[in-house]
A and B are shown apart, each in its own frame.
Chain A
Amino acid sequence: MENIQSQSYQNRYYKPISSLTKSAMDIDISAPSNSEPQVELLAALMLKVANQRDRAAFGYLFTYFMPKIRAFGLQRLNQQGLAMDLVQETMTSVWTKAHLYNADKGSVATWVFTIMRNQCFDMLRRVQHNKEDAFGDDIWPLCDTVAMNQETQIDHKFTAKLLKHLDDLPLAQRQVVQGIYMQELTQQELADALEVPIGTIKSRLRLGLEKLKSFLETPND
């Protein structure tokens, strides 16, 4: 499925790209693309981008990854215009999310690949299903916060246990507990919604939670 926008991209980008690869050959550098020093150099550049928003360092990264992303895009998306969209989307994320890069977790190439694959996944669904959804970063999170660590699980289990008794609370307390734990509202948002002072929210929450805990302590639960 082709759309008009991609067609115009195709015209705009098709020639310049082949001229780029030719000029790349003219400049020619002999370093093999996989060498250790290169991996370290990419990491150093990425850190400069992450820590100082260094534009020149990003320019190098852009020049290095652009043809690789484009080639991947051509394979998966089968269209010049879409491949260049993939370059733009991917490198934009590399720039705007640079601070999420964690050198301990992997190489720059792997990180850029991750962003590119996620973006490509969403673009493919866009082409195939005409869906403007963005699921790639949910499926493959870019930064590795706790992957459901023990603490969160226990915490959630406890919360879940507590919430079982929600219906036994008086309405005023139930509204507050429900708002905070199930609708994830802030105390201020709740105060506004219920038109009461925030102090009232705090005390209702405290009373509600105390009552829920007392239910847990009752034997024969």
Chain B
Amino acid sequence: MIKHHPDQDLLFAHAKGELSLSMAIAISAHCALCEACKTAVAQYTQEAADLAFNQHEIDDTTADNIDISANDISLMQSALPDELQTMLAQILCQPELATAPSNEPILVSVKNQHYSVPSVFRQHLDRPWQQLGKVSRMRFTLNEMNTRASLLHIEALGEIPQHTHKGNELTLLLAGEFSDINGNYVPGDFIMLDGHTKHAPKTLKGCLCYIVLDAPLHFTKGLSKLLNPIGELIY
């Protein structure tokens, strides 16, 4: 059972489309693995639609606070100004799209292991894996300032040295298992750690995670100077 979920605020913000790409990917991937959060996001999307479509008069200053509920559907198209008639005509020239997009999970292979991951990762998997011992990382190019997002693979019996983070660290377990002092995790678990939590994840059977980092890692064990470059490399 998945025990760790994104909190409700995050789900609502996601439904409204207000999260950054790295976080939107994380929530989307969690929802592909978690029926409960998927249902919640569907519900929030409906709320977001109501909010967006029914209160816009308030914020729409250019409309001089005209009551736009007047634009009932029985408003005839002939009332549209020429520019919009043109737009409408252009749209109507477009053919129906033949293909439906596929949400099938995607196979990811690393170190001779094969995993399936949610389709949201579709366009991000063309980066090279960087390997260091039992740990492999594929860093995404999302162009989000300091935020760094990557897939992290740890081979069976691998671990990451104990460390803390300057900013928040999100770990979404996609496949396999790992554990830390707080317990064991299963695919779908969405683990958000703040800058004060120390952890040292280990895996017996190997795992594939999606990681989002705000800030570089800072290892807290004695060899910090030696290990810090590794932290940079790992994530």
Closest to B57 in A: A71
- The answer to whether B105 and A152 touch across the interface, beta carbons within 8 angstroms, is yes
A68 touches B56 (CB 8 A): yes
- Which one, A12, A31, A160, A166, contacts B115 given CB within 8 A? A160
Interface pair B114/A160, CB less than 8 Å apart: yes
The answer to whether A133 and B123 touch (CB under 8 A), given A24-B75, A120-B17, A164-B113, is yes
Residues of A within 8 A of B204 (CB): none
For the complex, what is the distance from the CA of A29 to the CA of B70, rounded to whole Å? 5
Number of inter-chain CB pairs below 8 Å:
225
For B87, the chain A residues whose CB sits under 8 A away are 84, 87-88, 91
The digit string for A17-44, where 1 denotes a CB below 8 A from any CB of B, is: 1111111110111011110001001100
Q: Report the count of interface residues on A (CB-CB < 8 A).
A: 95
Q: Report chain B residues within 8 Å CB of A214.
A: none
Fill in one digit per residue for A146-172: 1 if any B CB lies within 8 Å of its CB, else 0: 111000110011011001101100000
- Name the interface residues of A67-84: CB closer than 8 Å to any CB of B: 67-68, 71-72, 74-75, 80, 84
Asked if A106 contacts B116 (CB within 8 A), the reply is no
Counting chain A CB atoms within 10 Å of each CB, which of B66, B91, B96 scores highest? Answer: B91
B73: chain A residues at CB < 8 Å are 38, 41-42, 45, 60-61, 63-64
Give me 16 A-to-B residue pairs in the complex whose CB atoms sit less than 8 angstroms apart, sorted by A's number. Answer: A18-B64, A55-B92, A63-B71, A63-B75, A64-B72, A72-B52, A87-B87, A91-B87, A92-B91, A97-B96, A135-B25, A140-B45, A141-B119, A146-B104, A148-B116, A159-B114
By a beta-carbon cutoff of 8 Å, the part of chain A in contact with chain B is: 12-13, 16-25, 27-29, 31-34, 38, 41-42, 45, 53, 55, 58-68, 71-72, 74-75, 80, 84, 87-88, 91-92, 95-100, 105-107, 109-110, 112-114, 116-118, 120-121, 125, 129, 131, 133, 135-148, 152-153, 156-157, 159-160, 163-164, 166-167, 181-182
